[in-house]
Amino acid sequence: MGYNVQEHLLDRLSIFRVYAYGLCMGTADALPGVSGGTVALLLGFYARLIAAITAITPGRIVAVLRGYHPAHRDRAREAILEMDVQFLLPLGVGMVTAVALIASAVSTLANTHPVPLFGFFTGLIGASAIVLYRGLCISTREHVLAALAGVSLALLVAANVITLPGSGGIVILLAGALAISAMILPGISGSLILILLGQYVFLSSELSAFLSGLGGLLGGGSLEAVVDPGTTVVLFVAGGLVGLLTIARLVRRALERHRNLTLIFLVSLIAGSTPAPLHNISEHHTWTVETIALAAGWTLVGAIVLVALDYLTGGFDPE
């Protein structure tokens, strides 16, 4: 009996540890410039994360869904173990918890203190590009072209010269696919992609409104307050699932075949995204001397925070 209790406690501790990993990873991914993939590397579970994600296939998902029938339950259990759901589930819950908390804070600060918020994000992004470039070797013409392509693409997207095709739900689906794919890559933050696409504040507000609506519904609130933002959240999650099954796999394959070239392009995307948060400021504020000084001060704070994290962790490696 004592052995079983001890084993049960160890299982619970293991679940809590993975949940804590999810909190750390979700916090990193919710802040542009800090990568959840990098956190996974630093905490030592990146290989397991990638193995679990790449094990998610349509065939295994179907096998799990068919597990309601007694004849298919053994195969459903095998599929669950193969996808490492006992790891992904608490990790995902931890990530969602962290993202929800930060989304609420970002939604509020974007309305009340946009200049400090987006100045801080600018510093995080710019400093992360610098520390990641240190681990790369740019020595050939192809490397230079890849760097220029990454920086140019990010600048064009940030300036709305290049935009996502479609509108409304299609944009949310594509943003989800790109952002979730970026979340699992060391050095690339999912929220950075959303800032680059101009969807970060909107999606943070929608997630915050959805959670508030759920809380209000329990107290007798309106169903409409849940459905409207909930639709956006569902579309984003659906896009994320598509991204994990497609885009993330393509990027991992590119890393396996042309590691340095791919990393140079990805880190250059970060570098080119540095001014993207400033567009959020210019949408609501005129660039006065006071505004520039405040934004510059918070940019410096963001850069210092990122460099300090880099120092404390022994250096970020974009793998």
* Runs of H (alpha helix) within the chain: 2-30, 36-43, 46-54, 58-65, 73-82, 85-112, 114-133, 141-158, 169-183, 190-196, 200-218, 224-245, 247-257, 259-272, 276-282, 289-312
Q: What is the DSSP letter of 140?
A: S
Question: In the structure, what pLDDT confidence band is assigned to residue 242 with cuts at 50, 70 and 90?
Answer: confident
**How far, in Å, CA of 294 to CA of 305, rounded?**
17
Tell me the one-letter amino acid at 135: G
| DSSP assignment letter at 70 | G
Look at 115 and 14; give whichever has higher pLDDT. 115
pTM for this entry: 0.78
Specify the range with the lowest mean pLDDT, choosing from 2-11, 36-45, 77-86.
Answer: 2-11
Q: How confident is the model at residue 31 (pLDDT cuts 50, 70, 90)?
A: confident
pLDDT at 141: 93
pLDDT at 179 over 50: yes
Per-residue pLDDT, averaged over 270-289, amounts to 87
Q: How confident is the model at residue 299 (pLDDT cuts 50, 70, 90)?
A: very high
pLDDT of residue 316: 56
Q: Rounded to an integer, what distance in angstroms lies between the CA atom of residue 73 and that of residue 79?
A: 10
> Scanning the structure block, which residue is given the tokens 């916090």?
27
Judged against a pLDDT cut of 90, whether residue 149 lies above it is answered with: yes
pLDDT at 279: 86
Handedness of CA 48, 22, 32, 316 (dihedral sign): negative
CA distance 59 to 31: 34
Indicate if the pLDDT at residue 297 is higher than 80.
yes
